[in-house]
Structure 1
Amino acid sequence: MAESRPLRRLGFLTIGLFDPDDPAAGHEETLRIIELGEELGFDSAWLRHRHLQFGISSPIAVMAAATQRTRRIELGTAVTPLGLENPFRLAEDLATVDVLSAAHSDRGVGRINPGVSVGPPMNYERFKDHLYPDTADLEDFSYARVERLLHNLAGEPVSDFEGQVGIETFSRRIEPHSPGLVDRVWYGGGSLRSVEWAARRGVNLLTSSVITAESEETDFATIQAGQIELFRSLHPLGQDARVSQGLVVIPTDSATPEQARRYEEYAAARLPRTREPQGPRRMMFAPDLVGTSEQLAEQLTAHAGFQLVDEVAFALPFTFAHADYVQILTDMATRLGPLLGWSPAA
């Protein structure tokens, strides 16, 4: 068994659930969770991207608000499905929020980490005529969409004109330009093809609790470790290439008996799907980890995928209450993180 790397960066991921009859309250709770993350010393907070659901549909807007209520914690998306985005407009929004995050930062640098993926959007056939009324069947959902976003964030030309038109001044590149933002782009990959593409393109890799089994191997941790090793073997930075893991991890140290019972029931209900590949794409799901920080640290350090990373974005369960998230994050930062070698940010 390989020896785990000391955990260098601790982050968390939230879906930002809200009541459709009172969406403001849920969004405010998400912002309070991000503020708590900063107070606890977390390095990053990540937002899931959900469309036509009761979770965050506009993480960039939420990140913009969060930049004005925090000064240190980094903010990311995990992930934004680019099939629903225009890479031109997305680059403008990301760069705008990144410069706002830098202006409201103790270090004066951007804090945004765009995580993206490609492919046809989920349930695309049900709403494509509203998304792309004239081009729905012509849209390109390949990696080319990521290439366009990277081109735009890098400040490469998107227009053949710059200069004055009357009293207005025009630029060739996306404005504002935020130097360094393109280096903080992550790709959410779970297949060998996506991992290889991300490595050769030189972006960072987000690997989660869902991957693809493409051989006879059905042990999640072994498959994930193989994907991470492939990524670093092909990436220009080699072993220094950044990989973040996103398992569901629920510490119970300070949980009430009722909370601990609900957490165990949640994990047990999701356990059957982890026993074998699911569906024609052979999707593999990692078991949710529930227990004391000592138990979780033992499980994680024995996990072949975790052994290869030094940064994580542990996923918060979708359906818990705000008080549950406060307890889970507090135990993560004060008990589990230190057992894994992590130190909270000052």
Structure 2
Amino acid sequence: MSNTETRPAEVRCGGGTDADFPGEVEILTARDVPLGGPRAMRVRRTLPQRARSLVGAWCFADHYGPEDVAATGGMDVAPHPHTGLQTVSWLFSGEIEHRDSLGSHAYVRPGELNLMTGGHGISHSEVSTPDTTTLHGVQLWVALPDEHRDTARDFQHHVPEPVALGGGEARVFLGSLAGVTSPVRTFTPLLGAELTVSPGARLVLDVDPAFEHGVLVDAGDVLVEGTAVDRAELGYTAPGRSALTLTNRGAGTARLILLGGPPFGEEIIMWWNFIGRTHEDIVRAREDWTTGTRFGEVHGYDGDPLPAPQLPTTPLKPRRSPR
């Protein structure tokens, strides 16, 4: 997915392991962002933000829907570029057609992972299919470490099997949880899973104490380590815990996205759909997209590629998460 903001801020993220209080749960509230057009589909963005810019290598999190496609027009994101990251597409309902400059033509469906590696540069389009009536899911980005940020473009598809948790269920699309390990390749240790929690159930999950975690609530009356996390909020926990307790106090099934990874020890710059290390990296990527080099072509999309927004006049100073 593209960041289709017309005036995206340049954000410096990461660079430290500044969360040292594993007993606390930090609540990250989402902001609404339109995905372009007069009837724009709106997404709820929890990462990045001023309070915290990354959870492990997870650097971008959009949560959208349930969206009535007849009212909004659904998703229609023209070809656009990416560098220095991987995109993770995960749906709860609906279907999205994906095309990229690697030549991939695939569909994003509920419970199926589509992971695209931008690396040195890739472009892609995303369009909800005509049969989609309700669109609902998350779009996530993973920052690539410096030694791999210019890796070759790639595309992976994986359908994780559901795993019973005793009061819930997990679909582990990246990393390891509940005795299951995803075969999908990543460039830093990561955890990504969809969890459902039965009404009144309490799950205690064994987790890696070297990881920080984020719990994004899609539905339900949820407690993370005893702290209430409302729908569309992300509950953050710092490294240092070997178990994570999730409780559903509601009468309906709760649904969560669990993200995790060791703190990302590098500082990155995010602007529009690019991740680099310096302001000059971003300038170069924008020029390459504007001149039609580096990112390849997306075939089969009916329309023009997205134009790059104007760059900010000055780079921002590093932004770090508070202790």
Normalized against structure 1, the TM-score is what?
0.29
TM-score (norm 2): 0.31
Larger Rg: 1
Q: Which has the higher contact order (CA 8 A, sep 6+)?
A: 2
User: When you count helix as a share of all residues, which structure comes out higher?
Assistant: 1
Question: More strand per residue: 1 or 2?
Answer: 2
